[in-house]
Amino acid sequence: MEMETISTFAKKLWCVKKQLILFLTPLILLPLLFGLPEKEGKCLYVVLLMAVFWCTEALPLAVTAMLPVCLFPTMGILPSKKVCPQYFLDTNFLFLSGLVMASAIEEWGLHRRIALKVLKIVGVKPAWLILGMMITSAFLSMWLSNTATTAMMLPIANAILESLFGDLDTLKENCKVKDETEARVKLKHKQTEPLKTESEYQMKVWKGFLICIPYAASIGGTATLTGTAPNLILIGQLKSYFPECDLINFGSWFAFAFPLMVFFLILGWLWISFLYGGLNTRLCVKKQDERAQAEAKAEAVIDEDYRKLGPINFAEGAIAFFFILFAVLLFTRDPKFVTGWSTFFNKGYVSDATTGVIIVSILFFFPSQKPSLSWWFDSRAPNTPYVPLLSWKKAQECVPWNIILLLGGGFAMAKGCEESGLAAWIGAYLQPIAQVPPAVAVMFITAFLACFTEFASNTATIIIFLPVIAELAMFVKVNPLYFMIPATTGCSFAFMLPVSTPPNSIAFASGHLLVKDMVKTGFVMNILGILSVSLAMNTWGRAMFSLETYPDWARPVNMSSTVTDIQFPSVPPFNLTSL
């Protein structure tokens, strides 16, 4: 009876867990206000309070992001006039312009045409189809949200899989029957079939298809500044901490991150194809007739879906043109390795946000139907209303405004940490890390954040840790970008759990994946990601951003200019074992 009472009480507590977190967390953190220096203690109180609320989602993420607006001024950390502008910096406008462009692409179905075209090109062999799915998902997630990309690609994958292998329920039943048959044959000491039957192989390939899409979407989002929120948090906090640093913009980030994305994507494809049967030689050699028939059927499905789209219309062509113009102008504004077009304007006046807003503004008045002069003189022509490529109503529905607030909350938190001295106070306690070689520290930072983000939002994770990492870099006199870039990319490497990212959750919700499938695949993916980032930082990243020296823009104003530059280990660039 007593155990039943305890169980009932525990269930009651679980039902109100969020309310308990909201009530108890501020009380538990109260000692920080009295045991630490006044301003630093107050700021740490707010930071930890927001961190707990973000990690537990006791409040909606966007609501937690707005807490600095009320807590920083009332606690004397930062005046309201300094907090509120952080919620709409030019970085937020760059992100907003990317979201509006994505909504226009989705409105006219250009993303689906791109996806089907890529699949037609790569063919229908499972290994190549997995590669096609990953390439398409990665490319689309560079511009669309990772969640939207995954939600669009999964139905396409399921349709192709059903044409290749038939109905999934029948396939599962065949696996079960064959297992029972095999067991009976073994008991009679007769010759058995190989352990991996054809049905089991097909089930593995099915899982490989489903799991590759969210992973590729997460990887692809790292390639552009607008691809995922942590990238924008990085550039926003760089502007806050290091106003003189102008090394990171859309073009320079793309030049660094795109090769990293391609390299990691290839490694991920090899691992997923190996693990789930896509690279099995039986695919091409054994039972060629049966496989060829199934592949022809799958190819017909892709061709039919593409045919249904019809020829590319004026609106799709216009969106494709503005999309390419959007990417080219952002990339060439100031790519650093060549002179960009921004030199035609006053220095420092034109940013990536300016470029993005100019292009997406055109979408709201550019016609979706081909203009015709004869329409004006033809009395019998229908007087149809003028329809632009994108309406504000559609943009309003598609733009996740909660992410805009989340970005703003991150910038406000960073500003509070900087102004209160909290970041410097924490940095003073990080002295032991100064003894660790920088290359090892990069791997440790990437690994730590990749693990932490398995349980928390990647945006919340980078907001919490980036100020500390920046302060750590300044304390050990290492180029801050050498630590901050791996931390940012590492936050997108959440592959092990269904709850890690919305794309993982969408794939898991299909009901065909098990948690152990994601853990087994994601653990190796995390390792490959950490090694890929380390390689990128110590090769082309090192050359692009001059990471071997401690830059002047990172020196405090009152610091002597005679600080000695940190020397990186003199190792061959591609010798990973020495890192």
Confidence of residue 283 (pLDDT cuts 50, 70, 90): very low
Give the per-residue pLDDT at 566.
39
Candidate from 67-81, 180-194, 464-478 with smallest mean pLDDT: 180-194
Assess whether pLDDT exceeds 80 at residue 570.
Answer: no
Average pLDDT, the chain: 80
Is the pTM here over 0.85, yes or no? no
Q: At what angle do helices 110-122 and 314-332 cross, to 10 degrees?
A: 80
Assess whether pLDDT exceeds 70 at residue 445.
Answer: yes
Rounded Cα distance between 462 and 494, Å, is: 13
Rounded Cα distance between 88 and 405, Å, is: 9
Token pair belonging to 524: 């190796």
Assess whether pLDDT exceeds 60 at residue 195.
Answer: no
Across the range 527-540, mean pLDDT stands at 93
Give the per-residue pLDDT at 174.
62
Give the per-residue pLDDT at 565.
42
Token pair belonging to 389: 């490529």
Give the per-residue pLDDT at 507.
83
Cβ distance 250 to 353 under 8 Å? Answer: no
How many Å separate Cα 276 from the centre of its chain? 24
pLDDT, tens only, 538-554: 999 998 898 888 998 88
Give the per-residue pLDDT at 574.
32
Q: What are the φ/ψ torsions at residue 550 (nearest 5 degrees)?
A: -90, 115
How many Å separate Cα 150 from the centre of its chain? 12
Token pair belonging to 280: 């099995």
Across the range 157-182, mean pLDDT stands at 63
pLDDT, tens only, 221-231: 999 988 888 89
Give the per-residue pLDDT at 186.
46
Token pair belonging to 422: 């909290």
Assess whether pLDDT exceeds 70 at residue 279.
Answer: no
Across the range 401-421, mean pLDDT stands at 83
Confidence of residue 373 (pLDDT cuts 50, 70, 90): confident
Give the per-residue pLDDT at 536.
94
* Residues in the chain, overall count: 579
Assess whether pLDDT exceeds 60 at residue 577.
Answer: no
Confidence of residue 194 (pLDDT cuts 50, 70, 90): very low
Cα–Cα distances (Å) from 100 to 65, 288, 369, in that order, read: 22, 47, 20
Rounded Cα distance between 202 and 396, Å, is: 42
Give the per-residue pLDDT at 145.
79
Give the per-residue pLDDT at 371.
78
Give the per-residue pLDDT at 525.
94
pLDDT, tens only, 20-45: 889 899 999 998 888 888 888 898 89
Give the per-residue pLDDT at 576.
34
Q: Which residue has the higher pLDDT, 247 or 171?
A: 247
Across the range 181-195, mean pLDDT stands at 44
Token pair belonging to 485: 């870039």
Strand, helix or coil for residue 270: helix
Strand, helix or coil for residue 462: helix
Confidence of residue 104 (pLDDT cuts 50, 70, 90): confident
Confidence of residue 489 (pLDDT cuts 50, 70, 90): very high
**% the chain with pLDDT above 90:** 18
CB atoms within 10 A of CB 149: 30
Candidate from 252-266, 309-323, 370-384, 496-510 with smallest mean pLDDT: 370-384
**% the chain with pLDDT above 70:** 84
Give the per-residue pLDDT at 571.
35
